Homo-oligomer: A and B are copies of this chain.
Amino acid sequence: MLENILELLRTRRYMEIRSLLEESNIVDVADLFDQLDDEYTVVIFRLLPKGMAADVFSYMETDTQKHIVESITDRELSGIIDELFLDDAVDFIEEMPANVVKRVLANTGKEKRTLINRFLKYEEDTAGSLMTIEFVGLKKEMTVRDAFDTIRRTGPDKETIYTLYVMDENRKLEGIVSAKDLLLAHIDEKVEDIMDSNVIYVSTDEDREEIANLFQKYDFLSLPVVDRERRLVGIITIDDAVEALQQENTEDFELMAAMTPSEAPYLKTGVFAHAKRRVLWLVLLMLSSIFAGSILTKFQDSFAVMPILVSFMPMLMNTGGNCGSQASTLIIRGLSLGEIQGRDALRVWWREIRIAVLCGIVLSLVSLLRIYFFYDHNFALGLVVAISLLATVIIAKSVGCLLPIGAKKLGLDPAIMASPIITTIVDICALALYFTVAKMILHI
């Protein structure tokens, strides 16, 4: 589409650009703006049909949004903010620098400004920060016919009309009814008789991971958010829940690789910002490796006598690290999907110990045979490695499964107890064990 638009622009066929944009998917149009050179952005933005501009704007990247806002008039800006769904307006404002925010708010109607300011206060990653207020409210005394009238009247500005919310005069949530139920009901039926009053809802401070899990479990298209008096304050729609789900996954991936999480895409993040997210963890983990090093200092005499011992260290350390990382990954994932709870700790541990014994025996046997045949039938050396390996695997699996559950119990994100930290801990145990066993069996 990009080349096409540029060609039309060069030949000044503006009306053709307009119809091309009009026919296209708004997400693709937003993508187009993200790729356009800044000089063309505003020209083309002004060609967008009025009803489309705000929608397209809400899908643009932050940089593009910023450039457009800085280039359009106050009146145009005010028009866009007016048309944006509240959650999109809040998301956009949160990303803008202070001077842009000031100008945006100055060009926002009083009522919406008050709402935006209230929504900006909800903590990140909570229901409050995910929800929007553009839902259709019904009363239970209404007939299906009344309900359709309400939908036709208020629907065009709503984010979804597929779940309708039934409230009393105090905005207390009494039930929900789906557009499907309305369409399949008789036109004179009362909303009260077809609504579902057994509603699942969340409070404004509910965590996004929990919300994502609810959507997944119940196959919701939207989820109501209520205050302490059970008054409906907003709804979360499935598209925002999916986005939250993916951000939660990305956060876990990044924490598990010892990085400070960030929501900015890789290629849009500067080199310094990347380094900053990583270096602190690297330094801390590096310093904690000193303990493993000091154990080696203690056993200097052993490998001075028998330097071959050193050559099995990488194998032992890596296997321990891999075993711990397998266990911790499964447990972290299970906790985040709600398949494993804190109370399962002992059950999980017992399971991991048995798994460790099975894996450990296989690994030890392979090592024993390898050393026996490749190192002059040195059975004693093989035995040292095999025993250390089995013990290391058991320790690694135990540490790997217990630390994430412990973190969860302490209210921390289990994902920080992943491979990097576990490897550091397992290294210390593995090396101490290895040289102790070696001293005992080989008499060095």
Q: Indicate if the CB atoms of A355 and B323 lie closer than 8 Å.
A: no
Q: Indicate if the CB atoms of B314 and A303 lie closer than 8 Å.
A: no
Question: Which of the residues B221, B311, B318 comes within 8 Å of A286, measured between beta carbons?
Answer: B318
Q: Indicate if the CB atoms of B238 and A221 lie closer than 8 Å.
A: yes
User: A148-195: which residues lie under 8 A (CB-CB) from chain B?
Assistant: 148, 151-152, 155-156, 161-162, 179-180, 183-184
Q: Indicate if the CB atoms of A314 and B354 lie closer than 8 Å.
A: no
Q: Indicate if the CB atoms of B319 and A296 lie closer than 8 Å.
A: no
Residues of B within 8 A of A310 (CB): 296, 300, 303, 310, 313
Question: Which of the residues B243, B297, B348 comes within 8 Å of A216, measured between beta carbons?
Answer: B243
Report A48 CB to chain B, min CB distance, Å.
16
Question: Which of the residues B275, B285, B330 comes within 8 Å of A355, measured between beta carbons?
Answer: B275
Q: Indicate if the CB atoms of A330 and B254 lie closer than 8 Å.
A: yes
Residues of B within 8 A of A289 (CB): 314-315, 318-319
Question: Which of the residues B300, B307, B317, B359 comes within 8 Å of A282, measured between beta carbons?
Answer: B359
Q: Does chain B have a CB within 8 A of A424?
A: yes
Report A127 CB to chain B, min CB distance, Å.
18
Complex formed: what's the CA distance from A100 to B317 in Å?
47
Q: Does chain B have a CB within 8 A of A442?
A: no
Complex formed: what's the CA distance from A245 to B272 in Å?
32
Q: Indicate if the CB atoms of B340 and A25 lie closer than 8 Å.
A: no
Question: Which of the residues B179, B278, B282, B355 comes within 8 Å of A278, measured between beta carbons?
Answer: B355
Q: Does chain B have a CB within 8 A of A246?
A: yes
Question: Which of the residues B23, B238, B313, B354 comes within 8 Å of A238, measured between beta carbons?
Answer: B238
Report A335 CB to chain B, min CB distance, Å.
10
Residues of B within 8 A of A24 (CB): 198
Which of the listed residues A200, A258, A265, A318 has the most CB atoms from chain B within 10 Å of its own CB? A318
Complex formed: what's the CA distance from A314 to B334 in Å?
30
Complex formed: what's the CA distance from A24 to B196 in Å?
10
Complex formed: what's the CA distance from A391 to B292 in Å?
22
Complex formed: what's the CA distance from A355 to B276 in Å?
9
Residues of B within 8 A of A424 (CB): 318
Instruction: Given contact pairs A279-B358, A313-B313, A325-B419, enumerate 10 new A-B contacts (beta carbons under 8 Å).
Output: A161-B183, A162-B179, A179-B183, A253-B333, A257-B326, A266-B333, A285-B322, A289-B314, A290-B315, A310-B310
Cross-chain pairs A/B with CB under 8 angstroms, 25 sampled: A24-B198, A27-B218, A152-B183, A161-B179, A162-B221, A238-B242, A253-B329, A253-B332, A257-B322, A257-B325, A258-B326, A265-B337, A267-B334, A274-B355, A275-B355, A282-B323, A283-B363, A292-B318, A293-B311, A293-B314, A294-B311, A303-B303, A310-B310, A314-B317, A317-B317
Chain A residues engaging chain B, CB cutoff 8 angstroms: 23-25, 27, 148, 151-152, 155-156, 161-162, 179-180, 183-184, 198, 200, 215-219, 221, 238-239, 242-243, 245-246, 249-250, 252-254, 256-259, 265-267, 271-272, 274-275, 278-279, 281-283, 285-287, 289-290, 292-294, 296-297, 300, 303-304, 307-308, 310-315, 317-319, 321-323, 325-326, 328-334, 337, 339-340, 344, 347-348, 351, 354-355, 358-359, 362-363, 366-367, 370, 419-420, 423-424, 427, 431
